[in-house]
Structure 1
Amino acid sequence: MYGYGSFYNFLDPTFLLVIAGLVISGLASAYVNSTFRKYDEFRSSKGVTGTQAAEYILRSQNINDVGVQQIAGDLTDNYNSGNKMLSLSEATAQSTSVAAIGVAAHECGHAVQDAKNYIPLRIRAAIVPVANIGSSLSFPLIMLGVIMSWNQTLINIGILAFSLALIFQLVTLPVEFDASRRALSILREGDMLAEDELAAARKVLFAAALTYVAAALATFLQLLRLVLLFGNRSRD
C-alpha cells in the first residue's frame, strides 16, 4: 500500500506545473489589463460610449430581445444567453474609449452568435453544468481513491471528471475568437471606428483572447499533473 510519504514524494516535483500555470495566467491577465488601460486613453473620434455602441450593434443585427445594462466591477463584461442580457462594466459602459467600444462589441458578438445559433456557443452552454460538476468532484474522487488503498478505478474517474474542465476551456476558444471577429467586422461595416481605432480595438480583443488561451493551458498543466501523480499507478 502507498503511504503518505510516497504521496508527498510524488507531489513536490509536479507542483512546478501548477506554478507554471499560475505564471502563464498571471502574465496573460497583466497583459490584458495593461493593454486595456493603454487604449482606454484612446478616445474614439465618433464619441460614442460602450453602451451606445452595444445598442447600435444589436439594432444593426436586428436583435431586439437583448437588453443592455451597466454592472459594477472592472472588465466584468458578459453576455447571458439565458436571460438575454448584455452586461457592461463601469469601465466600459460610459467610456468613449476605443478599448471600451471594442469590449462592448465583443460581448455583442456573443449575442449575435446566440441569435444565429452558433454551434460552438450551444456546445459550451451545454458543457457548463457538466464541467462544473466534474471540477467539483474530481479532487474528492481522487483523494477517496488514494485513501481506499489506491483504488485506481476511482482515481481514473476523478481524472476524467477534471478533464471536463479542459474540454470546456477548449470549446471556449473558438467561441471567444469568433465573437471578436464578428465584433471587428460589425464595427468596420458600421463605420463606428476609424482604421487606426479598429487596429487598437483589435489589439485589446487579442489581449483578451490570450487570457482564454492561458486558462486552457493552465488547466492542461493541472490535468497533466494529476495524470503524472495518480494515473495508472499499481499498488506495491
Structure 2
Amino acid sequence: MFLPFDPLYLLMLAPAMLLAFWAQARVQSNYQKASRVRARLSGKGAARLILDSAGLHDVPIEPIAGQMTDHYDPSHKVLRLSQGVYDQPSMAAVGIAAHEAGHAIQDARHYAPLVIRNLAVPAGQFGGSFGMLTLMAGLVLSQLSTSGGGLGSLLCIAGMVMFAAVVVFQLINLPVEFDASARAKRQLVEHQIVSREEMHYINGVLNSAALTYVAATAQAVLTLVYLLIRFGGGRDE
C-alpha cells in the first residue's frame, strides 16, 4: 500500500521525523527561555536599527497576527513581525527580528541563493500541492486496467518530478536561512543590541530553528528517495 501505512516509508522517514520533533521541542524550549530575558530593544527596534544601518530606511516593519508568523516579504519589501516579537524587548524577540532583517538585507544585496529560492517558490508550492495527487492518480490508473497503465506510468513519473521541485526548494532554502541567521548574529553584536555574553540565548533560538529547516529538507529528500524506490516503475509492486 501507499504511505503513510507502508512500513518502508515509516522506516526511511523515521530519522527525519525524530529530528523534526526534537528540533521543534528545542525551538519551543529555547524560545521560552530567551523570552524571559530582557533585551535593550524591542524586536521592532532591533530590526529597525539593523535595516537602517544597512541603508534600508524604506523597508517598513509591520505587526502581524499569530505566533512564529514572522517573515520578510520580498514581493512587497516589507518585514512583518508577530505580536510576541514586534514590541517585546526580549532576547527571543531581537533574535527573530534580526533574522528576518537578515533576509531583507539579502534581498537588497541580491544574495544569489535568495534570488534562486524566490524563483523556485511557485514550482515548490505547485509540486507540494499536486505532486502526490498526480502520483496517486497514476497508481490508481495503473491498477484499474491494463489500458490505463501507460497513462498511469506517465502520471507517476510526473508526480515524482513535481515532488522533486519541493526537494530542490528545500535544498536551496537551507543556505538562505543559515546566512540570515549568521547575518543576524553579527549585526546584533556589532550594534551592541546583544552582548557577546548574552549571545547564547540568540544561538539557542536561531540554531534550533535552523534544525527545523534541516529536518524538513531531510524529510523531503527521503520521501523522494522512497517514491523512486517504491514507485519508480510507475506501479505499486
Partner of 2:179: 178
Query: Hey, what does 2:63 align to over in structure 1?
Result: 70
Shift of 1:229: 2.0
Letter in 2 for 1:133: F
Q: What is aligned with 2:222?
A: 221
Matches within 5 A, 1:120-131: 120-131=113-124
Q: Does 1:85 align with 2:78?
A: yes
The question of 1:29 aligning with 2:30 is answered no
| Separation (CA, whole Å) in 2 of partners of 1:122 and 1:147 | 38
The answer for the alignment partner of 2:43 in structure 1 is 50
Q: CA deviation at 1:12?
A: 2.1
Q: Secondary structure at the match of 1:73?
A: coil
Partner residue of 1:3? none
Q: Using the alignment, how far apart are the partners of 2:41 and 2:172 within structure 1?
A: 33
The 5-angstrom pairing of residues 184-203 of structure 1 reads: 184-203=185-204
Gaps of 5+ in 2: 143-148
TM-score (norm 2): 0.89
Cα distance in 1 for residues equivalent to 2:96 and 2:4 = 43
Q: Secondary structure at the match of 2:95?
A: helix
In the TM superposition, what whole-angstrom CA distance separates every residue of 1:185-217 from its partner, at most 9, and x where no partner exists?
111211221111123212211111111001101
Match of 2:7 among 2, 13, 21: 13
Equivalent residues of 1:32, 1:208 under 8 A apart:
yes
Q: Are the structure 2 counterparts of residues 84 and 234 from structure 1 closer, same or farther at C-alpha, using a change threshold of 3 Å?
A: closer
1:191 match: secondary structure? coil
The range that moved more, 217-226 or 206-215, is 217-226
Per-residue deviation, residues 54-92 of structure 1 (Å, max 9, x unmatched): 111111111022110111111211000111111111111
Distance 2:86 2:178 in 1: 22
Conservation of the 8 A alpha-carbon contact between 2:139 and 2:234: no
Paired positions, count: 228
Q: Secondary structure at the match of 2:6?
A: helix
Offset at 1:180? 0.7
Q: Distance between the aligned counterparts of 2:3 and 2:182, measured in 1?
A: 47
What is the deviation of 1:8? 5.9
Question: Matches of 2:55 and 2:201 in 1, distance apart?
Answer: 27
Q: Structure 1 stretch 15-24 or stretch 140-149: which is displaced more?
A: 15-24
The answer to whether the 8 A contact 1:36-1:99 is kept is yes
Aligned-residue offset at 1:218: 1.3
SS in structure 1 of the partner of residue 229 of structure 2: helix
Q: What amino acid does structure 2 have at the position aligned with 1:143?
A: M
Q: Separation in 1 of the partners of 2:127 and 2:67?
A: 29
Residue ranges of structure 1 left out of the alignment (5+ in a row):
1-6
Residue 234 of structure 1 deviates from its aligned partner by 6.9
Q: Tell me by how many angstroms 1:24 deviates.
A: 2.8
| TM-fit CA distance, 1:233 | 5.5
1:61 — aligned with what? 54
Contact 2:230 2:236 (8 Å CA) reproduced: no
Counterpart of 2:109 (choices 111, 116, 126) is 116
2:132 corresponds in structure 1 to 139
Q: Distance in 2 between matches of 1:48 and 1:175?
A: 25
Q: 1:198 to 1:20 in 2, by over 3 A?
A: closer
TM-score of the aligned structures, taking structure 1 as reference length: 0.89
CA distance in 2 between counterparts of 1:87 and 1:148 reads 45
- Identical aligned residues as a percent: 38
Residue 232 of structure 1: SS of its match in structure 2? coil
